[in-house]
């Protein structure tokens, strides 16, 4: 199979050296063109059927990365290969029309569904819009209503809500409408961008359970973006940690928690509210704000906030490498070496 990697995993998206730079407006005083380096060279394989959690503080470039994969922003550099039924498609080379067709497979669920739901459309119209624009049903086809009912039920929405408008729903229900709208297209890959961040904790777990169930049923692949590690802890197969436009650690979820190697991951983990079993864990406070992505620190970008920083860290960029067992890292002085 062309999309099988050396570990026998089927790759759905192969992301190579992706950079996303946005130009900063020039001023009278600063005429040199500068760039916001939102993504600064990311390599990542996303496997078929997995939930990949992506965490980092706000401003680290994770949402931009999700949108770049979906080609909502064409990348500045690098390649994103989507394997559709095992056949490679270079997303960068697709025309606008080819991309419009592919968008059925590659969907996005937003943090705030309310702002993305047309207030003048009913739930039935919102879910039906994509179905007709992608030619899954013809306008007026009576079978479409049956299909929308089925999707609404799958997403925990009662069918009598079909003719209601977004403002008549709670936050959790609106998120279900957003999910139903995306999943009605039977996508292959869904970016969930802070999809539960605006919801109460009890509603969060309902939506997370719903997303997990739908993944099982439809064989979906998720990229689950959040600033909150505790959200992705239970639903992710693997978790990637981003800092200032780069991936700094990536590992199977259990491995990341049991064998944390990067000082930034350690700090994020220490901020998760503790339970009795790990109440002895030290809380590491990250000092200072995330530096500017226009003028990032030299060497390891985390060195200005890392409590293990040494001279080498200020000079040399740590290489992204596999430390074994699917655990990837970019750090000169991983935590296991310090402890060992």
Q: Which residues bind ligand SF4 (CB under 6 A)?
A: 263, 300, 302-303, 306, 308-309, 313, 318, 331-333
SS3 22: strand
Q: How far is the CB of 57 from ligand SF4 (least distance, A)?
A: 15
Q: Counting every residue, how long is the chain? A: 340
- Taking the least distance from each CB to ligand SF4, the nearer of 137 and 308 is 308
Q: How far is the CB of 300 from ligand SF4 (least distance, A)?
A: 3
SS3 200: coil
Task: Name the residue among 39, 58, 40 with its Cα closest to residue 286.
Answer: 58
Q: How far is the CB of 327 from ligand SF4 (least distance, A)?
A: 15
Q: Rounded to 5 degrees, what are φ and ψ at 99?
A: -70, -35
- Taking the least distance from each CB to ligand SF4, the nearer of 37 and 188 is 37
SS3 180: helix
DSSP category for residue 56: -
Q: How far is the CB of 297 from ligand SF4 (least distance, A)?
A: 9
Please state the separation of Cα 159 from the chain's center in Å. Answer: 30
Q: How far is the CB of 223 from ligand SF4 (least distance, A)?
A: 24
Report the first-to-last Cα separation within the chain, whole angstroms. Answer: 41
- Taking the least distance from each CB to ligand SF4, the nearer of 211 and 300 is 300
- Taking the least distance from each CB to ligand SF4, the nearer of 217 and 307 is 307
Q: How far is the CB of 132 from ligand SF4 (least distance, A)?
A: 50
Give dist(CA 313, CA 180) in Å, integer: 46
- Taking the least distance from each CB to ligand SF4, the nearer of 110 and 302 is 302
Cα three-residue angle 274-278-283, rounded to 5 degrees: 60
Return the H-helix or E-strand segment holding 191. strand 189-193
- Taking the least distance from each CB to ligand SF4, the nearer of 240 and 318 is 318
């Amino acid at each position: 199979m062309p999309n099988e990697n050396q570990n026998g995993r089927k790759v759905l998206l192969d992301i190579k050296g992706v950079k996303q730079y946005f130009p900063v407006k020039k001023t009278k005083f600063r005429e040199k063109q500068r760039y916001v380096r939102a993504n600064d060279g990311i390599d990542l394989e996303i496997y078929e059927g997995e939930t990949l959690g992506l965490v980092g503080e706000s401003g680290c470039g994770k949402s931009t990365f999700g949108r770049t994969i979906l080609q909502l922003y064409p990348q500045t550099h690098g390649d994103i290969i989507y394997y559709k039924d095992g056949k490679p498609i270079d997303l960068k080379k697709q025309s606008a029309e080819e991309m419009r067709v592919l968008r059925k497979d590659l969907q996005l669920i937003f943090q705030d569904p309310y702002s993305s739901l047309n207030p003048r459309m009913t739930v039935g119209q919102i879910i039906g819009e994509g179905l007709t624009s992608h030619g899954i049903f013809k306008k007026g086809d009576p079978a479409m209503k049956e299909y929308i009912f089925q999707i609404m039920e799958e997403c925990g929405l009662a069918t009598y809500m079909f003719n209601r408008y977004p403002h008549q729903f709670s936050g959790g229900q609106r998120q279900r409408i957003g999910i139903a709208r995306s999943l009605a297209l039977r996508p292959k890959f869904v970016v969930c961008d802070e999809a539960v961040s605006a919801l109460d904790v009890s509603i969060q777990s309902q939506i997370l359970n719903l997303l997990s169930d739908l993944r099982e049923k439809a064989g979906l692949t998720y990229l689950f973006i959040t600033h909150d590690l505790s959200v992705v802890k239970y639903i992710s197969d693997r978790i990637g940690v981003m800092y200032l436009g780069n991936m700094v650690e990536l590992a199977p979820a259990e491995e990341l928690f049991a064998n944390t190697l990067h000082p930034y991951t350690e700090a994020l983990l220490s901020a998760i509210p503790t339970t009795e079993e790990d109440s002895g864990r030290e809380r590491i406070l990250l000092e200072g704000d995330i530096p500017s992505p226009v003028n990032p620190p030299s060497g390891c970008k985390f060195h200005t906030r890392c409590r293990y920083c040494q001279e080498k860290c200020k000079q040399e960029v740590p290489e992204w490498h596999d430390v074994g067992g699917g655990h990837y890292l970019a750090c000169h002085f991983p935590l296991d070496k310090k402890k060992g």
